[in-house]
Structure 1
């Protein structure tokens, strides 16, 4: 049975719920939410009825135990989510503006997720077919970047698809000069990329390239998904491209919307057994399977912004299908 392997950080998102007035000061009241982009995607895929495994490491602390318990309650396999007695679980504090757009402040220095190596995982990780999903947050420091490169190479040798959500969080990068190089290096061994328009523009400027799509396709990327908030989502391949409008919804919180989009996209590929390079090439030639996946992804992303939080906002398969049928 095909499955998703999500590699990267699992962390606690502290999200402001309200403010309480104490004297002359407004005190923010935060809610503790499980998060981390790869973990969000794993939960999304599991919630849509497919096997999802979390590859990563948390601290052997209260936050790490909380996250493991949350993942297991969401039917995510945690056999390869390791615990460290020496390093802490990472955290992020989320701020929301009046439109629900978020910004992040991270506590992720010398944390457990950064200390992994490929040989920390048994070879059985690569048994069976499936998709490895990664993000650029595991490229920010030398050790975890090398581990990411090793994992991607192992997935390719095992015949898996590699999905790369660029997902740039600039506060995590001490050296942005390495950012473009590492993203391109990872893209060169990935089959599918997902970027926001903001990330696209930033990378184009950082790398001083006029046609980022051409650069990525020359590196061997097969497919690119380009999102831009409420604007149309673009699907690019070397030979054709298309776009799909996003539904109009009331935005409450954009946290995790991109991961809901990605999770639904990957779940649809797994559902259609598009889990290796040959089946992806066939799907690109046929186009229709990818348009089916794109529609599910766009709807999932839209529905996710109508609720607060990351995991709590993820739509079910029934939610997605009901929305699609309501528009027919």
Structure 2
């Protein structure tokens, strides 16, 4: 690891097979996965970004590592297990260009980063540690996530959590919900969609979900609602932050771009301390999510800082 302050992310690398059209009859291969997108997205925004994952010795794993290194992502905290095969996911597009995770492929689910593989040095110089629930379905990965959060807290690192609920990866919705909820009490910054809020809080309306979520006492919550913008939950207040309208091409990865923007903002400025600072953070992240939605792909669509001027009021 370098001695410079960096953002640290933990999760699975994926190969995304993304539909080329709404007929979902042809696909293009991309490096992907929510945490991969965030790690690379942060790097594209000019912030040192390190990633904890596991890859193997086959061509697909070499592709994954090569693409991450091209993005400037630091892989020192990651491990290589020769037998590991990187997971894949087929992503279909609806007529409205929303993403649907249609099928997962995972040949080696039991080959995971173990808790003892975690490097304390990676946490010592981290400003923000980011996770999502995508790997938690596996007992070993769950233990590793718990240990990683423990290390982050011990080193005073801000903990970011994107709920990123993917029911297809779990044996039951109940276990998916219960596992994700366990991490809410150690979360400093939560990103959750309106649909995920209803799922996690078991509520029918956004107002009910927000009320139940308040019981977890999370310092900062961003509730994203696509083209409707973002609701921020901060110090007992709920306020709306609009997004600049765009013509979407592919919404895959837009939420990850939002998260990358939030993490970048916090890495540079620290946790927001006022309502206006929260609005500034959400506005910046909204722009990144919107920009991402104007391009096809996920990682390929992660915005760079210099692209922000493409969006005007």
TM-score in terms of structure 1 length: 0.88
- Could you say which residue in structure 1 is the equivalent of 2:29? 32
- Structure 1 residues not aligned, in runs of 5+: 20-25, 275-279
Following the alignment from structure 2 to structure 1, what is the Cα–Cα distance between the partners of residues 114 and 91? 29
Conserved 8 A contact 1:58-1:90: no
Following the alignment from structure 1 to structure 2, what is the Cα–Cα distance between the partners of residues 103 and 239? 33
- Could you say which residue in structure 1 is the equivalent of 2:20? 17
Q: Are 1:41 and 2:29 counterparts?
A: no
* Match for residue 298 of structure 2 among 301, 310, 325: 310
Following the alignment from structure 1 to structure 2, what is the Cα–Cα distance between the partners of residues 156 and 30? 41
Show CA shifts across 1:79-102 (max 9, x none): 122222223111111111222111
- Structure 2 residues not aligned, in runs of 5+: none
- Could you say which residue in structure 1 is the equivalent of 2:241? 244
* Match for residue 197 of structure 1 among 194, 199, 202: 194
How many pairs are equivalent? 309
- Could you say which residue in structure 2 is the equivalent of 1:106? 104
| Over 6 Å off, 4+ runs | none
Conserved 8 A contact 2:120-2:151: no
- Could you say which residue in structure 1 is the equivalent of 2:284? 296
State the secondary structure of the residue aligned to 1:242: strand
1:226 Cα shift?
Answer: 0.4
TM-score in terms of structure 2 length: 0.92
State the secondary structure of the residue aligned to 1:188: helix
Following the alignment from structure 1 to structure 2, what is the Cα–Cα distance between the partners of residues 212 and 59? 41
Following the alignment from structure 1 to structure 2, what is the Cα–Cα distance between the partners of residues 18 and 249? 19
Conserved 8 A contact 2:177-2:200: yes
Following the alignment from structure 1 to structure 2, what is the Cα–Cα distance between the partners of residues 218 and 18? 42
- Could you say which residue in structure 1 is the equivalent of 2:185? 188
Conserved 8 A contact 1:40-1:259: yes
Alignment of 1:50-65 (within 5 A): 50-65=47-62
State the secondary structure of the residue aligned to 2:296: coil
Show CA shifts across 1:221-278 (max 9, x none): 1111101121131010233222111221111111101001110111111121x1xxxx
- Could you say which residue in structure 2 is the equivalent of 1:115? 112
- Could you say which residue in structure 1 is the equivalent of 2:275? 287
Conserved 8 A contact 1:42-1:263: yes
- Could you say which residue in structure 2 is the equivalent of 1:277? none
Following the alignment from structure 1 to structure 2, what is the Cα–Cα distance between the partners of residues 84 and 28? 34
- Could you say which residue in structure 1 is the equivalent of 2:221? 224
